Chains A and B, each alone.
Chain A
Amino acid sequence: EAAVTQSPRNKVAVTGGKVTLSCNQTNNHNNMYWYRQDTGHGLRLIHYSYGAGSTEKGDIPDGYKASRPSQENFSLILELATPSQTSVYFCASGRDIYAEQFFGPGTRLTVL
């Protein structure tokens, strides 16, 4: 089965600090995605990537950057973390259009 891992699983950060969330997939999928999940909002797309070196803005990209240095790795970067970015973040990978997305276990981020 497709495998997506995320690190760290839990993170407490201070307001104004820099946070990097990492995602690794061993599926050789071209597409990777970062979502956040908040009560009442469901999953919302932050950034996505078609392959190594590419990043695209999703529906809520403000305050976030993304990096795809290789096929396997996709990072989400919060340069100046704010309390409103407290959430659970999920990474996902997918082979191509119409294919299912495989999700990681999530990272719970708390910004104090």
Chain B
Amino acid sequence: QEKVQQSPESLIVPEGAMVSLNCSFSDSASQSIWWYQQHPGKGPKALISIFSNGNKKEGRLTVYLNRASLHVSLHIKDSQPSDSAVYLCAVSMPGGNNKLTFGQGTVLSVIP
């Protein structure tokens, strides 16, 4: 079964800082890697996904995938207090049903 590990567990940064979140997965056959954002008392919401090796940029978000090292990272530029949330890394496996295996999450706090 796929294992997904995230680091750090929690992170506190000042407003405007660059944020870097890490995720390691165990199976090189994994398909897409997703990052979800979850605010307190809410359901997770998809932020960005990546399938191919390399990087993908959307607005203030950049994600880097290295399949050889089984590692993906999410970088948030110019962080805002509204970015304070739990960030979840999720990996989908081949099989045609888009089953996702989630990491335990990173709690991000952006201090004004």
**Interface of A with B (CB < 8 Å)?**
4, 31, 33, 35, 40-45, 48, 50, 56, 58-59, 90, 92, 94, 96-106
Contact = CB atoms under 8 A, between A and B. Distances in A.
A98 B102 contact: no
Nearest to B42: A105
Contact of A98 (B31, B41, B45, B105): B31
Contacts of A105: 41-43
Given A35-B102, A59-B101, A100-B46, 9 more contacts: A4-B43, A45-B101, A90-B44, A92-B43, A94-B98, A98-B32, A101-B98, A102-B46, A106-B42
Contacts of B97: 31, 48, 50, 56, 97
Interface string B34-63: 100000011111100101000000000000
18 contacts: A31-B97, A40-B104, A41-B104, A42-B4, A43-B100, A45-B100, A48-B99, A50-B97, A59-B1, A98-B51, A98-B92, A101-B46, A101-B100, A103-B44, A103-B45, A105-B41, A105-B43, A106-B41
Contacts of B46: 100-102
B12 to A, nearest CB: 19
B96 interface: yes
Interface residues of B, number: 26
Interface of B: 1, 4, 31-32, 34, 41-46, 49, 51, 88, 90, 92, 96-105
A45 B104 contact: no
B40 to A, nearest CB: 11
B23 to A, nearest CB: 11
A40 B105 CA distance: 9
B43 A97 contact: no
